[in-house]
Amino acid sequence: MATVAPAAGSIFAKVDRDIVRTLWAPGWRYRLVMAGVLATLGFGIFCWIYQIKVGLGVAGYAPAVMWAVYITNFVFWVGIAHSGTLISAILYLFRSGWRTTINRSAEAMTIFAVMTAGLFPIIHLGRPWYFFYLIPYPNERTIWPNFKSPLIWDFFAIGTYFTISLIFWFTGLVPDLATIRDRATGIKKKIYGLLSLGWQGTVTEWRNYRKAYLYMAAIATPLVLSVHSVVSWDFAMAIVPGWHSTIFAPYFVAGAIFSGIAMVMTLVIPMRFAFGLDDYINEYHVENMAKVLLLTCWIVTYAYIFEYFMAWYSGDPIEWASFVWRATGDYKIPFAIMMLCNSVIPQLCWSKRVRRSIWGMFVISLFVNLGMWYERFVIIVGSLAHEFVPSSWAYYKPTWVELGITAGAFAWFIMWFMLFAKTLPAVSIAEIKEAAAEGYWRPGRAPEEKV
């Protein structure tokens, strides 16, 4: 690729200044929000301790609805994670220039979302201290986990996803940590020096780095598709009407990217304003995210329609009854919220004006987050509550303990993201400089103006 020279390194210096100044020394607004987040997290922890002490009876389980809000949260947060890998790995392989300014935050979001998701299978356990039974190790009875079970597949998929996402994210961070090390003093210099592993930026280092990064992107791409497929098989492998469907894997993957891209917008738009990153995250990036949102919205909407078609076309009265009940029964309001937020509201993205409206897209992203949470709820609870035998039909509603833990999980996620934004570069310094050198990016330019 032809190289366009940066103007005397001044763009590089500006990028360093802009990103490094976002670190440390939080203002009063940050502290205020963090205080609220910690208070919510504290309440969530209290709820969990209460549940451990009293037992799972404090959750609103109503047989046969024994998977409910906790599993909803698990699937929701795993889904949120997916978009980070889409932006960081898949768009990297496609050489999409617009990912450069948001990929670091999206990757961080992936890690924190997986950390949040990983809590829920443990919270869901009656005896959470035995969670390690899932880990394949030779215990004293030489009993191994059942590798034919989707729950074990899930353990391997989520474990691999978290590890690879962490390695990929940290690899991308190393050159930036060295940049910060060389601009910091005192204890900060020491800490960032250790974290940067002695990176110096020799061409040999970069050569190995580029290859490793490319391979990690290449393996993360099939991984991201496999992980939510495996999560969907937790359901699709069971014969529960509403779950036992072959479209579940692509349906869940598309939904995951849909919800994840919405969460990226929910996080980076306030961050743009809080840190004054107008040169880095602007209408151009928001519009591109809006296009991905609209595309995945239609895949999800197609899946919603097709589920109903297959339920009707299969001629299975139980399946059809389950789907009719989903839209008209006890959970018709969650179903309506799901349809409104996931299929109707995102249609606003057909308008270029809406796509380029930063706050407009922020509001739409909030609706999509809400809608996707309800989608998981409708699939899980709406199917279990109306199985084959009328005597096992049930009505579940979440208790304050479940809602408290759910709120705590959101706080847990936001806390990590806020800590990340103040201690690590939220925008990839080296990649922005590379984009500047190659002519993809210039500070202050109009989004579509050619460099």
Min separation Cβ 177 and other proteins, Å = 9
The rounded distance, in Å, linking the Cα atoms of 401 and 412 is 16
Question: Rounded to an integer, what distance in angstroms lies between the CA atom of residue 319 and that of residue 311?
Answer: 6
- Closest distance between other proteins and the C-beta of residue 220, in Å? 8
- Closer by beta carbon to other proteins, 204 or else 391: 204
Q: Is the CB of residue 59 less than 8 Å from the CB of residue 51?
A: yes
Q: Minimum CB separation from other proteins for residue 75, in Å?
A: 18
Task: Identify which of residues 243 and 410 has a Cβ nearer to other proteins in the complex.
Answer: 243
Of 219 and 274, the one with the shorter C-beta distance to other proteins is: 219
- The structure tokens listed for 263 are 């969460």
The residues binding other proteins (CB under 8 A) are 1, 3, 5-6, 8-10, 12-13, 16, 136, 142-144, 146-149, 152-153, 156-157, 159-160, 163-164, 167-168, 171, 174-175, 178-179, 181-183, 194, 197-212, 215-216, 219-220, 222-223, 226, 230, 430, 433-434, 437
Give 15's contacts (C-beta < 8 A, 6+ positions apart): 429, 432, 433, 436, 443
Q: Which CB, 134 or 262, lies closer to other proteins?
A: 134
Distances (CA, A) of 394 to 40, 228, 327, 354: 31, 28, 16, 42
62 φ, ψ (degrees, to nearest 5): -130, 100
Specify the amino acid at residue 23. Answer: L
Question: Closest separation between CB of residue 19 and other proteins, Å?
Answer: 11
Q: How far is CA 37 from CA 31, 408, 410, 423, in A?
A: 10, 8, 9, 17
Quick one: tokens of 230?
């495996």
Contact by Cβ (8 Å): 314, 135 = no
- To other proteins, the closest distance from the beta carbon of 261 in angstroms equals 23
Minimum distance from CB of 175 to other proteins (Å)?
7
Using DSSP's 3-state secondary structure scheme, residue 65 falls into: strand
Q: Would you say 236 or 289 has its CB closer to other proteins?
A: 236
Instruction: Considering the complex, state which of residue 25 and residue 143 has its C-beta at the smaller distance from other proteins.
Output: 143
Buried b (16+ CB within 10 A) or exposed e, 319-343: bbebbebbeebbbeebbebbbebbb
Q: Give the nearest distance from C-beta 233 to other proteins in angstroms.
A: 8
Q: Which is nearer to other proteins, 210 or 352 (CB)?
A: 210
